[in-house]
Structures are given as structure tokens and as C-alpha cells.
């Protein structure tokens, strides 16, 4: 795990969160489905996003 205090601070990635759910006996929530969109924005401490927002739509190969 990225932090032993993950309950308070959260997880660093989806796979880590799913692993924690499995270890703790919970059914992990559904993962991404076709047609859903994932977006990410990396920001510096001053709030500037040097790469803008990255958006990806889940599609069949």
C-alpha cells in the first residue's frame, strides 16, 4: 500500500483500492464500463495544470 493510513488519506490508484476491498472482504465496486469517460488533471501547488485535462472514453478495441 502507498500509505498505512489509507483509510484517512485515500489510495493512490484504482487497483490498490480494489485490492484493499478484496483483502477486507468487501466486493469491489464495478470497474470501468464501455462508454464511460475517465479524466485526470495534474496540478502544481499553484494550481496550474501544465498538461491540461486528459480525457479518455472507454471503447471496445
Residues 6 and 23 in one domain: yes
Range of the domain at 61: 33-61
CA distances to 6, 15, 20, 47 from 32, rounded to whole Å, are 22, 12, 18, 28
Per the rule left: phi > 0, alpha: psi between -120 and 50, beta: everything else, 29 is beta
**Same-domain pairing of 9 and 20:** yes
The string of pLDDT tens digits covering residues 12-54 is 788 888 888 899 999 888 888 999 999 999 999 999 999 999 9
Q: Give the predicted TM-score (pTM) of the model.
A: 0.50
Higher-pLDDT residue of 29, 56? 56
* 56 and 34 Cβ atoms separated by less than 8 Å: no
Inter-residue contact 59 to 34 (CB < 8 Å): yes
CA gap 60, 52 in Å, rounded: 25
Number of domains in the chain: 2
Amino acid at each position: 500500500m502507498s500509505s498505512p493510513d489509507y483509510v484517512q488519506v485515500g489510495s493512490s490508484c484504482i487497483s490498490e483500492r480494489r485490492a484493499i476491498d478484496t483483502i477486507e472482504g468487501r466486493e469491489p465496486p464495478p470497474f470501468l464500463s464501455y462508454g464511460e469517460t475517465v479524466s485526470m488533471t495534474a496540478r502544481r501547488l499553484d494550481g496550474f495544470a501544465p498538461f491540461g485535462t486528459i480525457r479518455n472514453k472507454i471503447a471496445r478495441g
